[in-house]
Amino acid sequence: MDLDDTKLTHEGLKLPAPQKARVLLLACGALAHEILALIRANGWDHLSLTCLPAILHNTPEKITPAVEQAVLRHRDDFDQIFVVYADCGTGGLLQAACERLGVEMMPGPHCYAFFEGVDSFAEHGEGTAFYLTDFLVKQFDSFVWKPLGLDRYPELLPSYFRYYDRLVYLAQTDDPDLDSRARDCAARLGLEYERRLTGYGDLGSALTDHSSR
């Protein structure tokens, strides 16, 4: 299935539920490619996927109410809903809402952590690194450059990124084109470049766990 990354960013994704679907994965649009790849590779026809717009990450205060509304809208149609978000800047509000609604969610501070592995990410303790994933490399202008106004006011760049020393690309796939584009993103931001091939990290194990229930 070909996915439109611009639509994933601004509109999200709603797929028809497979006939055998019992579990709804309610996810961020930035994770759609990886989740669908795992579903296809493992033949998980009991999992269905709905994604909220990835751009919600730029306004994290909107994530919790959006997830809560989606859970209430879909909960009568599935035996279980698994929220495929980390905390994502909600300051614990998303976790509290999921507990109140009786649904599970991914552990970790954000998707960067569970792509690398939450424990491994915590060990790095990289407070001065700016992170990108495959999706964010492809949508760099939509998520970073334009929302920060750097397309109009490039002189703001030193103010925004003065506390960062490098860009770390957490790569889900071994794609030379994305590597080149990520290097370009680092150059545009004036940061050192580092690439780590993470694959799907904890995302794969979390979905495997829910596929076996």
Clarify whether residues 30 and 70 are in a common domain: yes
Q: What is the pLDDT of residues 178-199, one digit of tens each?
A: 999 999 999 999 999 999 999 9
The side-by-side arrangement of strands in the sheet containing 166-171 is 129-132, 166-171, 192-197
CA distance linking residue 195 with residue 1, whole number of Å: 27
Residue 117 has pLDDT above 90, yes or no: no
Poorest-pLDDT segment among 19-23, 136-140, 167-171: 19-23
Average pLDDT rounded to a whole number, residues 55-73? 97
CATH number of residue 54's parent domain: 3.40.50
Q: Which domain holds residue 191?
A: 123-197
Q: Are 143 and 154 in contact (CB under 8 A)?
A: no
Residue type, 5: D
Average pLDDT rounded to a whole number, residues 141-149? 96
- pLDDT of res. 108: 86
Clarify whether residues 101 and 164 are in a common domain: no
Clarify whether residues 32 and 82 are in a common domain: yes
Q: Confirm whether 117 is domain-assigned.
A: no
Residue type, 47: L
Clarify whether residues 100 and 155 are in a common domain: no
pTM of the model: 0.92
Q: Confirm whether 31 is domain-assigned.
A: yes
Clarify whether residues 21 and 51 are in a common domain: yes
Clarify whether residues 91 and 104 are in a common domain: yes
Average pLDDT rounded to a whole number, residues 15-34? 90
Q: Confirm whether 92 is domain-assigned.
A: yes
Tokens representing residue 184 in the block: 């370009």
- φ/ψ of residue 43, rounded to 5: 65, 40
Q: Are 36 and 2 in contact (CB under 8 A)?
A: no
**Among candidate residues 212, 115, 98, 103, the one with its CA nearest the CA of residue 172:** 115
pLDDT > 70 fraction of the chain, expressed in percent and rounded: 97
- pLDDT of res. 34: 95
Residue 125 has pLDDT above 70, yes or no: no
Average pLDDT rounded to a whole number, residues 146-152? 96
Structural domain total, the chain: 2
Average pLDDT rounded to a whole number, residues 123-151? 92
Clarify whether residues 101 and 50 are in a common domain: yes
Q: What is the pLDDT of residues 159-175, one digit of tens each?
A: 999 999 999 999 999 99
- pLDDT of res. 21: 81
Clarify whether residues 169 and 108 are in a common domain: no
Average pLDDT rounded to a whole number, residues 42-48? 91
Q: What is the pLDDT of residues 74-95, one digit of tens each?
A: 999 999 999 999 999 999 999 9
